Amino acid sequence: MKDHKFELSINTGFLVNRYTNPDEWVPLVSNHIGIKNIQFTADLINPSLPNELINKKIKETNDEMSAHGVKVSSSFTGAFTRLNNLTHPDEDFRKYYENWFKIFANITVGLGSKYMGSHFAILTQNDLNNDDRKQYLQEQAINSWHKIGAYAQDIGIEEIYWEPMSISREFGETIDEAIKLNDELNNNSPIPFSMCLDVDHGDLESPNPQDTDPYIWIEKCNSGFNMLHLKQSSSNKGGHWPFTEENNKEGKVVPEKIIESIKKSHPRDVQMVLELSFKERQPSDRLAADHVKESVAYWKNYI
């Protein structure tokens, strides 16, 4: 088994509306939190913005990152861009979001990264309960992702990640469903698709307890993933906690076990991304950056 290379980064979702401008958040990430690698979320530069605003923010972000030695390891959709997107019930919306993701690829490359990611798509409740409609929309979404992938590859993206979720309406909720969809995405695809596994995801109603065990997900998905979203969580997946001393006492996510599971079954290097979110309640809101800092320091003991 090869020696694995792990790259630790932080997802920037926690910054949204707390630290807005690059001259605020880039120094915070570099100097206070103490990390140089980030997963840039679409919420910070939304592809729906006019081109002039997108280009302005890309330049501002690049200037600050260059000054502070920060780099974008990958990009991802975020909490505020987690929408129906490519399985929206309205075809015109689906076409719009196909182009939206192409713009997101432009932003990703503009920020110096070769890797972008997202949830696969999200169904409405009505479409979930209509088997024919669900199958049709899933096939349409795969076709759209292939078009996005072809465009993205042409401009410099090397791989696209998609994230298995926790309910069937959002796709990939069990190990078997995730592997099946990943295979379908890669069939005749112009670009490699890989899973971004999340240690807090998986269907709580699955009769198979393995579907809520992050270590089994890692071992069974083996070569199908290349990225992990990390957060501390409880057995009932109360998740997205930071890795603070208090949370680690009762949390079920153990770094040594995560790394052991990867080394046991996984042939590739892995991006380890701290994806932490915080409620708009005090003291959680006020302490968000400090708790990300503590989480980074905790994981640096293992990576």
Residue that is written with structure tokens 């899973």 in the block: 195
Closest to 215 (Cα-Cα) out of 182, 166, 254, 161? 254
Rounded Cα–Cα distance for residues 47 and 136 (Å): 26
Query: How many contiguous H segments (helices) and E segments (strands) does the chain have?
Result: 10, 8
Give the per-residue pLDDT at 1.
43
pLDDT, tens digit, for every residue of 59-99? 999 999 999 999 999 999 998 888 999 999 999 999 999 99
CATH number at residue 87: 3.20.20.150
pLDDT, tens digit, for every residue of 186-209? 999 999 999 999 999 988 889 999
pLDDT, tens digit, for every residue of 211-260? 999 999 999 998 889 999 999 987 666 667 999 999 999 899 999 999 99
In a domain, residue 195? The reply is yes
In a domain, residue 102? The reply is yes
Rounded Cα–Cα distance for residues 271 and 169 (Å): 26
In a domain, residue 81? The reply is yes
Please give the residue that has the higher pLDDT: either 48 or 237: 48
CA geometry: angle 262, 266, 269, nearest 5 deg? 85
In a domain, residue 90? The reply is yes
In a domain, residue 33? The reply is yes
Task: Tell me the residue range of the domain where 23 lies.
Answer: 6-299
Contact 110, 57 (CB under 8 A): no
Percentage of the residues of the chain whose pLDDT score is greater than 70: 98
Contact 274, 299 (CB under 8 A): yes
Query: How many C-alpha atoms does 8 have within 13 Å on its Cβ side?
Result: 19
pLDDT of 19 > 90? The answer is yes
Percentage of the residues of the chain whose pLDDT score is greater than 90: 87
In a domain, residue 205? The reply is yes
Report how far Cα 186 is from the mean position of its chain's Cα atoms.
18
pLDDT of 270 > 90? The answer is yes
In a domain, residue 1? The reply is no
pLDDT of 296 > 90? The answer is yes
Number of separate domains in the chain: 1
What mean pLDDT value characterizes the chain? 95
Give the per-residue pLDDT at 267.
77
* Arithmetic mean of pLDDT, 29-40: 99
